């Protein structure tokens, strides 16, 4: 039995990694729109909706402009999703070792632990991705408001980011890479620079996992053929992942807005800075109203729903087991 558990872990890590890469590739443009919508302030709105954002992005930055930050996301989403999905399975197994039924409370606890584990990768990944995704919005704002020269909000001058963003009107914006941002953050802030917004990330990811994993488990269970045959069709896992993901995403959307604002190092014209989660919540509430906490909620639901639907299908089909030669492959019996 112990050998089986040990052999399962590498396969689950592979499944989680592949699931994350496939899912992110499919939904990344929507995620970019979500970041830009969340970061724009009232009175300075460049984008009216998700579609408006994507259309303007393609017109001004080309098709691949929708994939700004995708490289760092694809690189880090593999360990991030692997940790998230495998950790949830691990904790569920540990909590049901006594042979008893896994209660809802134990499912919530397993999801909570999984959410805490993933932020090791999630925080720096989101930190870098947000800078790259939001660069186009800042450049567009400079073109719309040519008299405004934005300032870097990092507590110090960053040569790399200043060269990249502080351009004169009409001048081509120099593209900055994740490597440049990482080096500059490590030079000026140390490792803690990459973990800016850690508290807000925990505040988002723990509740998300607490909602998502138990909800998915119960929805997925409804698709079982019978008590004698507990297998679930792959399409039902996809539907369950989409539904549970979208509900969890909307639930924690206010936390995601706060996290995005805190992790945006570069601000546009007249955009305020925040000193922690409480200060961010207070300023958003005072200046933009409670509706601001739901900015990008629809986009986030559209990102998370297919992302976790795809993730769960890949995970339950067992691609990792196939690659490692543990089990025969049959998508129909997934």
CA distance 256 to 304: 12
Q: What is the dihedral of CA 307, 33, 302, 193, to 10 degrees?
A: 50
In a domain, 223, yes or no: yes
In a domain, 154, yes or no: no
Neighbour-count burial of 76, counting CB atoms closer than 10 A to its CB (0-12 exposed, 13-18 middle, 19+ buried): buried
- Classify 152 as helix, strand or coil: strand
Q: Which two tokens stand for residue 266?
A: 């570069």
Which pLDDT does position 252 carry in this prediction?
93
Indicate which CATH number applies to the domain containing 318. 1.50.40.10
Which pLDDT does position 104 carry in this prediction?
87
Q: How many CB atoms lie within 10 A of CB 322?
A: 16
Domain that holds residue 220: 1-139+176-324
Which pLDDT does position 21 carry in this prediction?
82
CA distance 310 to 269: 39
| Number of domains into which the chain is organized | 1
Cα atoms in the 13 Å half-sphere on the side-chain side of 224 = 11
Cα atoms in the 13 Å half-sphere on the side-chain side of 331 = 5
Q: What is the chain's Cα-based Rg? A: 21
In a domain, 331, yes or no: no
Can you list the residues of the chain whose pLDDT is less than 50? Answer: 1-7, 147-173, 328-334
- Classify 266 as helix, strand or coil: strand
In a domain, 106, yes or no: yes
Which pLDDT does position 330 carry in this prediction?
42
């Amino acid at each position: 039995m112990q050998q089986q558990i040990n052999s399962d872990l590498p396969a689950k890590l592979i499944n989680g990694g592949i699931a994350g890469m496939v899912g992110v590739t499919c939904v990344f443009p929507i995620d970019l729109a979500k970041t830009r919508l969340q970061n724009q302030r009232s009175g300075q709105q460049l984008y009216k909706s998700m579609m408006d954002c994507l259309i303007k992005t393609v017109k001004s930055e080309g098709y691949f402009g929708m994939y700004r930050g995708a490289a760092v996301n694809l690189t880090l989403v593999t360990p991030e999703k692997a940790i998230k999905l495998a950790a949830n399975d691990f904790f569920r197994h540990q909590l049901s070792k006594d042979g008893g039924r896994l209660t809802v409370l134990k499912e919530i606890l397993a999801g909570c632990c999984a959410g805490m584990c993933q932020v090791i990768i999630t925080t720096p990944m989101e930190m870098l991705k947000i800078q790259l995704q939001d660069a186009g919005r800042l450049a567009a704002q400079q073109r719309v408001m040519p008299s405004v020269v934005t300032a870097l909000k990092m507590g110090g001058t960053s040569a790399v980011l200043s060269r990249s963003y502080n351009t004169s009107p009409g001048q081509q914006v120099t593209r900055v890479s994740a490597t440049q941002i990482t080096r500059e953050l490590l030079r000026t802030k140390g490792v803690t620079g990459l973990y800016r917004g850690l508290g807000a990330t925990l505040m988002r990811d723990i509740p998300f996992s607490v909602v998502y994993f138990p909800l998915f488990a119960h929805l997925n269970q409804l698709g079982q053929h019978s008590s004698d045959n507990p297998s679930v069709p792959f399409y039902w896992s996809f539907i369950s992942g989409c539904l549970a993901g979208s509900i969890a995403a909307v639930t924690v959307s206010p936390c995601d807005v706060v996290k995005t604002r805190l992790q945006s190092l570069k601000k546009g014209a007249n955009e305020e800075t925040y000193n922690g989660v409480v200060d961010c919540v207070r300023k958003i509430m005072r200046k933009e109203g409670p509706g601001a906490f739901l900015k990008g909620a629809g986009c986030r639901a559209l990102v998370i729903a297919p992302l976790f639907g795809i993730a769960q299908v890949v995970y339950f089909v067992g691609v990792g087991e196939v690659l490692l030669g543990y089990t025969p492959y049959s998508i129909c019996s997934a």
